[in-house]
Amino acid sequence: MAIPDYQSRMLPLLKFARDEKEYSVREAIDGLVQTFGLSEEEKKELLPSGKDVLFDNRVRWALLYLKKAGLLESERRGFFKIAQRGLEVLNRKPDAIDVKFLEQFPEFKEFKSASKKDKTDTVSIVSEETSQRTPVEILEYGYKSITQDLAQELLARVRNCSPSFFEKLVVELLVKMGYGGSRKDTGQAIGRSGDEGIDGIIKEDKLGLDIIYIQAKRWENAIERPEIMKFAGALQGQRAKKGIFITTSYFTEGAIQYVKKIESKIILIDGEQLAQLMIDYGVGVSKVTSYEIKKIDSDYFTEE
């Protein structure tokens, strides 16, 4: 089943607290997990950033909105209980509670108005899909979409660049990832092959405690198993145990399964991964803007 959106958690969350006891946020999350019958995979699904559990995030936003509407209240951090208004709402036996329902309460309307202040010059994305997501989700999925579009454009540029430029690109990426020591050392370690790719060895670390054999192919067609077998043979010929095969295209399933069975450690990096690494390490891209998401520092407000 699809993980319920944060608005569909509001009524179950209010019902969870109807006994007027104080509950921790963690207890509420665990209780709603049982209510919605989530699978183990659904309980562990993360937001795009990988820094928070999707279900937990949605429960916390539902909790925040119910507090702002005066249906729940909190006397200490991390805990909450139902408010008198919340009990009155439950007595009305609503079929559902969502943002539109909460707008009947002045405190919530004021909260929503404050959150929209100074946004008249920005583009507001309002759709059925985004209305079901929390503000953090909208931000993270929006970032993911922008990054995916950038990766596609970046890969198209790489596929159209010259072989020599591709060599330079790979060298710079490897250096920024921590391989090869200095850019000068890396450049000397990698040789030219003339087959729209590069082949050579590179230091695994700055001290050169181990070396890695590199092969890169600026190809359009898939890299199949025979190409990986040749690379594995080259490793044996060099008495090397580690290798990285980089391509602007993709690897067939046969190629992927082959590297899992051999003794040598070969890492396969396809076009999509190459583009993402370039974004992550700032190769061929530049920063337009950045946003910091901050939260309350509870330790700051602790009085001894």
Strand order in the sheet with 242-247: 190-192, 197-203, 211-217, 242-247, 265-269
Do 164 and 272 lie in one domain? The reply is yes
Is residue 291 in a domain? no
Token reading at 232:
């594995």
128 has a pLDDT exceeding 90: no
pLDDT of residue 127: 43
Cα 252 to chain center, whole Å? 25
Do 106 and 184 fall into the same domain?
no
Q: Write the single-letter amino acid at 58.
A: R
Number of domains, the chain: 2
- State whether residue 88 is helix, strand or coil: helix
Look up the CATH number of the domain holding residue 14: 1.10.10
93 located within any domain: yes
Between residues 278 and 209, the one the model is more confident about: 278
| Structural domain ending residue among the three candidates 66, 97, 120 | 120
Q: How far is CA 62 from the centre of its chain?
A: 22
Neighbours of 292 (CB within 10 A): 4
Residue 138 is assigned to a structural domain of this protein = no
Least confident piece of the model among 44-53, 184-193, 274-283: 184-193
Domain boundary residue, one of 93, 120, 147: 120
Residue 266: pLDDT above 70?
yes
Question: How much of the chain, in percent, has pLDDT values that exceed 70?
Answer: 85
How far does CA 212 lie from the centroid of its chain? 29
- Whether 187 shows a pLDDT value over 60: the answer reads no
State the CATH number of the domain containing residue 236.
3.40.1340.10
pLDDT of residue 183: 62
- If asked whether residues 58 and 108 sit together in one domain, one would say yes
Structure tokens, 257: 């399964």
Q: Which pLDDT belongs to residue 8?
A: 92
How much is the mean pLDDT over the chain? 83
One domain, residues 103 and 163: no
Residue 195 has pLDDT above 50, yes or no: no
Lowest mean pLDDT among 41-50, 73-82, 108-117, 192-201: 192-201
Across 134-142, average pLDDT: 80
Whether 301 maps to a domain, the answer reads no
Residue 227 counted as domain residue:
yes
Residue 45 and residue 107 share a domain: yes
How many C-beta neighbours within 10 Å does residue 258 have?
19
Distance separating alpha carbons of residues 104 and 81, to the nearest angstrom: 21
Residues 104, 30, single domain; the answer is yes
| pTM for this predicted structure | 0.60
Q: Which amino acid is at 223?
A: I
Query: Do the domain assignments include residue 224?
Result: yes
Q: Within this chain, do residues 30 and 104 fall inside the same structural domain, yes or no? A: yes
pLDDT recorded at residue 171: 80
For residues 214 and 197, the answer to whether their CB atoms sit within 8 Å is no
Task: Please check whether residues 107 and 173 belong to one and the same domain.
Answer: no
- The whole-number pLDDT of residue 122 equals 37
Do 107 and 167 lie in one domain? The reply is no
The answer to whether 166 and 157 have CB atoms below 8 angstroms apart is no
Q: pLDDT band for position 181 (50/70/90)?
A: low
Domain contains 289 = no
Asked if residue 266 and residue 175 are part of one domain, the reply reads yes
> End of a domain among 62, 95, 120?
120
Tell me the helices (H) and strands (E) count for the chain, helix number first. 14, 8
Q: Residue 20: pLDDT above 90?
A: yes
Q: Which two tokens stand for residue 212?
A: 């890695």
- Is residue 139 in some structural domain? no
Domain range enclosing 189: 157-280
Which residues lie closer than 8 Å to 156 by C-beta, 6 or more apart?
none
Mention every residue, 6+ apart, whose C-beta is less than 8 A from residue 290. none
Does 106 share its domain with 169?
Answer: no
What pLDDT, on the 0 to 100 scale, is given for residue 263? 87
Do the Cβ atoms of 103 and 112 come closer than 8 Å? yes
**pLDDT confidence band for 50 (50 / 70 / 90):** confident
Q: Give the DSSP H or E segment for 243.
A: strand 242-247
